[in-house]
Amino acid sequence: MATQISVNGIPSALQLSELLAAFENSIAEGVQIIQKQALHTRQDDAKLEQVDQAFSQLNQRISSLPIRLKQQRNLCTPLGRLSDEIILQILGYCLVSNAGENSSQDLYYIKETIPLSSAFFLCRRWRDLANSYPPLWSQVALPCNPNLFRLFRDRSGTSRMRVHLTNVGVRFDDVHMHALGDPLCQLAPRISEMEVDWSYNTENRLRLDQFLARHLRQNQLSSLELLLLSDGGSHQLTDYSINAPALRTLRISAKRPTTPLYMRVENLVELSYLCDCLSPFNILRLLSEFPHLERCSIFDQIPDSQSHTETLPVISLPRLKSIHIGSLYLSDMIQVLENLKVPSSARLRLQTDEPHSRSTSIETLLAPYLASTQEIHVVKSKCMVTYRLTSDAGGLLLVENTFDHGRRIAVTSLVALSRYPTNLSRINLKVQHLPSLYDLVHVLSSWPSVKHIGVCTPYDDFERLLTALMETPNTMCPLLRSFDCTGTKFSGNYMKRFLEFRTSKCVALQELNITEGFSDLEPGEVAHLVGKVREIPVESKLRWEVARPDCDPYPRWL
């Protein structure tokens, strides 16, 4: 029989007609067989019943065909072609959105309906996928509709849970507190990540530790690895402690310092702590609770202005890889560092405030690190000087020292730093004012191991630096081979004189970096005086610009 097929492979009208004719013929043949059987069994009731059942089955199969055709048709739509994995991701997003919309106190009163996204009822395939995949139900927000909570609890099976707990907008009475506490207790062994947003005010007069002592009691959070805690009433009234032996990451935002924390943890490696008015004692006491820390961020939004006379403990963090502390007054930061022992390879980022009323100098903080420093960067903006010290062990110290706006500060600290022994080999300066010629000579003569100098400074200050480097009779920085003055305008003649001086002393430069168009110096004029001259485009950033270390100073949840 001749057939006709369209170019894209879809059956033609003729093919569909032949297919339906064959289907109808098959049905007719089946009916004839049943009718013939019925003619021979008119006197046999049992066989007549079988004939009746045969017609019923045939009718059911024919009746189900439209549904089956619709299902097959749906599989050909863009939505029907989605893989199981993509569908599960879509359903997961719907659950997260739904939890955010329904985690209010009114949800507790919704008894009759379970508020789920319509995506769960889109078709049988989507519904079956959702019901058969326990991890999809592993996130729950408390307080929650009781029926909805039981649905999540049961369908999640033995999967580990992510729980968001809050008392914001929840009435302070036994009914609502039990609606929070009872589900938490049921899920306790399976919770792997938990976020707590707790408020303490005239409407919510129950502190978090009181709530946990009453409802969680001594149940162990044996699977908990990540805890995010925003505690509006952080002052503890009980001796309750959260028992979470597997906890590895702890992030706390608190109104006021509270030490010790109400938790028993043994394996914590990452800590983020946001609080106001932290004293050196608060910080050291906090760190003492977690001796295995590897990454830490402590941020004080409002530095404590009070003077502290308490005896500070000496704390050792032998596994520490990176730490960020800010923002403290310079004197308080020095106290913390004097009593904190960390590996030489650790990366430190410190934010300090140096008000005009305090006389502590930045050199006091930097001095202990100079002996092992190989490279130093100094960058000054309107109200901050940034110091970046890199050690020979790979450690990093980044200090962002803020001072009163409008207060003129020259980088005279270079003079003070030059008094300390060091094997410094690389110096980079981006400053508005360099020290005097006398002080520059003293600084450069104190650092004879310097091999690289990078500088971005005004015209006159730069010429003063060149003059200091041409000091005699001793040659300043005899090992100097690389000179980077990108971003600095200068006289081509004076630069040429400097290069000639270095060559005459048999200490010629191997590399000179300048900004294109910032001077009248032609690279060809000094090709015989320096190994390589590189002209950097004006729009390019300084190659050695100070960058923040990867200490994760501001966690995303803050």
Average pLDDT, the chain: 81
pLDDT band for position 161 (50/70/90)? very high
What's the confidence (pLDDT) of residue 545?
57
Q: How far apart are CA 207 and CA 235, in angstroms?
A: 8
Cβ-contact 180, 167 below 8 angstroms: yes
Tell me, rounded to whole angstroms, the distance of Cα 156 from its chain centroid.
Answer: 27
What's the confidence (pLDDT) of residue 254?
81
Selected residue with higher pLDDT from 216 and 53: 216
Q: Is the dihedral of CA 92, 97, 98, 100 positive or negative?
A: positive
Tell me, rounded to whole angstroms, the distance of Cα 321 from its chain centroid.
Answer: 16
pLDDT of residue 123 exceeding 70, the answer is yes
Tell me, rounded to whole angstroms, the distance of Cα 57 from its chain centroid.
Answer: 62
What's the confidence (pLDDT) of residue 110?
38
pLDDT of residue 217 exceeding 80, the answer is yes
pLDDT of residue 544 exceeding 80, the answer is no
Lowest-confidence pick of 7-11, 168-172, 304-308: 7-11
Selected residue with higher pLDDT from 128 and 232: 128
Q: What ranges in 156-203 are assigned the alpha helix state H? A: 174-187
What's the confidence (pLDDT) of residue 179?
86
Q: Average pLDDT of 43-70?
A: 66
- Please give the structure tokens belonging to residue 191: 């919770």
Q: Which residues pair with 243 in a beta bridge?
A: 264
Lowest-confidence pick of 90-99, 108-117, 441-450: 108-117
Q: How far apart are CA 456 and CA 168, in angstroms?
A: 52
- Please give the structure tokens belonging to residue 228: 């995010």
pLDDT of residue 171 exceeding 50, the answer is yes
pTM equals 0.75
What's the confidence (pLDDT) of residue 109?
39
What's the confidence (pLDDT) of residue 399?
92
Q: How far apart are CA 107 and CA 109, in angstroms?
A: 5
pLDDT of residue 10 exceeding 80, the answer is no
What's the confidence (pLDDT) of residue 553?
37
The 10s digit of each residue's pLDDT in 451-466 is 999 999 999 999 999 9
The 10s digit of each residue's pLDDT in 292-308 is 999 999 998 777 666 66
Tell me, rounded to whole angstroms, the distance of Cα 370 from its chain centroid.
Answer: 31
Selected residue with higher pLDDT from 34 and 509: 509
Selected residue with higher pLDDT from 35 and 241: 241
Share of the chain above pLDDT 70, in %: 75
Q: How far apart are CA 282 and CA 64, in angstroms?
A: 72
Phi, psi angle pair for 243, to nearest 5°: -100, 100
What's the confidence (pLDDT) of residue 106?
42
Lowest-confidence pick of 11-20, 85-94, 131-140, 168-177: 11-20
Cβ-contact 31, 38 below 8 angstroms: no
* CATH of the domain spanning 361-550: 3.80.10
DSSP codes of every residue in 209-270? HHHHHHHTTT---TT--EEEEEETT-S--S---EE-TT--EEEEEESS--SS-SEE-S---E
What's the confidence (pLDDT) of residue 203?
67
What's the confidence (pLDDT) of residue 29?
73
pLDDT of residue 9 exceeding 80, the answer is no
pLDDT of residue 343 exceeding 60, the answer is yes
Tell me, rounded to whole angstroms, the distance of Cα 457 from its chain centroid.
Answer: 36
DSSP codes of every residue in 303-319? ---S---SPPPPEE-TT
Q: Which residues pair with 428 in a beta bridge?
A: 377, 454
The 10s digit of each residue's pLDDT in 347-387 is 999 998 876 555 678 888 999 999 999 999 999 887 888 99
pLDDT band for position 207 (50/70/90)? confident
pLDDT of residue 80 exceeding 80, the answer is no
Q: How far apart are CA 88 and CA 105, in angstroms?
A: 29
Quick one: 502 exposed, middle or buried, by C-beta within 10 A (0-12, 13-18, 19+)? buried
DSSP codes of every residue in 67-126? HHHHHHHHHTSTTTT--HHHHHHHHHHHHHHHHHHH-SGGGGG--S-----GGGGS-HHH
pLDDT of residue 146 exceeding 70, the answer is yes
Closest CA to 330 of 412, 410, 400: 400
Segments of 343-456 assigned E as strands: 347-354, 373-380, 384-391, 396-403, 426-430, 452-456
What's the confidence (pLDDT) of residue 75?
62
What's the confidence (pLDDT) of residue 44?
56
CA distances from 103 to 179, 226, 484 (A): 12, 21, 58
Q: Average pLDDT of 173-201?
A: 89
Q: Which long-range contacts (CB under 8 A, 24 or more apart) does 525-529 make?
A: 525/492, 525/496, 526/495, 526/496, 526/499, 529/496, 529/499, 529/500, 529/502, 529/503
The 10s digit of each residue's pLDDT in 383-401 is 888 999 999 888 999 999 8
Q: Average pLDDT of 30-58?
A: 65
What's the confidence (pLDDT) of residue 260?
58
Look at the block and give the residue holding tokens 């300048």.
514
Run of H or E including 533: strand 533-536
Cβ-contact 432, 380 below 8 angstroms: yes
